[in-house]
Amino acid sequence: MPDKPTSDSPNPPDVVTADALRHGIDRGGAADKVAFPDPAAAPLGTDDEAAGFPPTREQVRMAAASELGPRPAATEETGAIPKLIRHRYAPVILALSFGLALLLVLLD
């Protein structure tokens, strides 16, 4: 079974512990993450386990299905700021930057 789910493998790997899910996410298995360890002070599931209520297998499987599911299709709109909004505000930001620079020159 592959470490990273792909769009042609709709079912995530059978993850049964929060630690295994965290390792899967850290290896880049989540749709929106890259392979890099998370230096979290309280890793996934720690607070539940410390309270005496570790997540059940079903809860971990549901989280794995959500986190480790198929990757979204690659499009231009997958960025944090949609293309339309980036282009709509570019002239405004440019004009404000130019105006601020002009003001600073005139004040000297």
Tokens of 61: 């499987």
Q: Are 67 and 81 contained in the same domain? A: no
Give the domain range for residue 85: 77-108
Q: Are 66 and 104 contained in the same domain? A: no
pLDDT at 106: 92
pLDDT at 5: 45
Distance of alpha carbon 11 from alpha carbon 97, whole angstroms: 49
Q: What value does the mean pLDDT of the chain take? A: 73
Tokens of 45: 């599931």
Tens digit of pLDDT for each residue in 21-64?
Answer: 888 887 777 766 777 777 776 677 778 888 888 888 888 888 88
More confident residue, 36 or 72: 36
More confident residue, 85 or 104: 104
pLDDT at 48: 81
Record the pTM. 0.46
pLDDT at 34: 72
Q: Are 93 and 53 contained in the same domain? A: no
User: What total of structural domains would you count in the chain?
Assistant: 2
Distance of alpha carbon 28 from alpha carbon 40, whole angstroms: 16
pLDDT at 101: 95
